[in-house]
Amino acid sequence: MLIRHHGHEPSIDPAAYVAPNATLVGDVRVGPGARVMYGAVLDAQDETIEVGATSIICENAVLRGAVTLGDHVFVGPQSTLLGCTVARCCYLATGVTVLQQASLGAGAVVAIGASVHAGCEVPGEFFVPPGMIMIGGAVYAPGDPELPGAVRSVGFARIAFGVETDWEDRLTRYEQMAEIRSAQFGAHAGDVVL
């Protein structure tokens, strides 16, 4: 399904393939030889999503906000990419999460179920192991006692939503984040199915 959002509509190269039940919203640009498979959602919101040549976006993946994929990128099923940049020839396995302002260098691999946190820069050809979380220049295992401090240091609410609250004031932070996301999603009320 192709949807116009705030006057912007998807652009698909004639040599690309977009599955009939994939959803592309707004300024989404799909390059030659790219494949957007069944159930994938690419929602540029008021930004731009660029899918490079011969890049593959598998089933039920979600790309939202300003996302740039270089050429020959593989995005596995059920992965989530939010406002990030992925250089050419990266491999993102099943269930990967890459958050706002993260950047992956050419040939980087994010293995099954792994995450790249907001603002993180993954060097070219770096391997993030299965189920691990990359924050800054370090990789953490779930349950690592240093993980909460690393997450806190990122300033996710500020990077992702522009929200400035004390770490301990979760209720206020989550309330403000929900208000912002509600407004973003509410902006789709006037969208037009093409």
What is the domain partition of the chain in residue ranges? 2-193
pLDDT digits (tens, 9 = 90+) for 135-184: 999 999 999 999 999 999 999 999 999 999 888 899 999 999 999 999 99
Q: For the domain 2-193, what is the CATH superfamily, name and number?
A: Hexapeptide repeat proteins (2.160.10.10)
Q: What was the pLDDT predicted at 11?
A: 98
**pTM of the predicted model as reported, rounded to 2 decimal places:** 0.95
Q: What was the pLDDT predicted at 64?
A: 98
Mean confidence (pLDDT) of the chain? 96
Q: Residue 48 pLDDT more than 90? A: yes
Contact present, 51 and 71 (Cβ < 8 Å): no
Q: What was the pLDDT predicted at 166?
A: 86
In whole angstroms, how large is the CA radius of gyration of the chain?
A: 17
Contact present, 104 and 69 (Cβ < 8 Å): no
Query: What tokens does 15 get?
Result: 């040599």
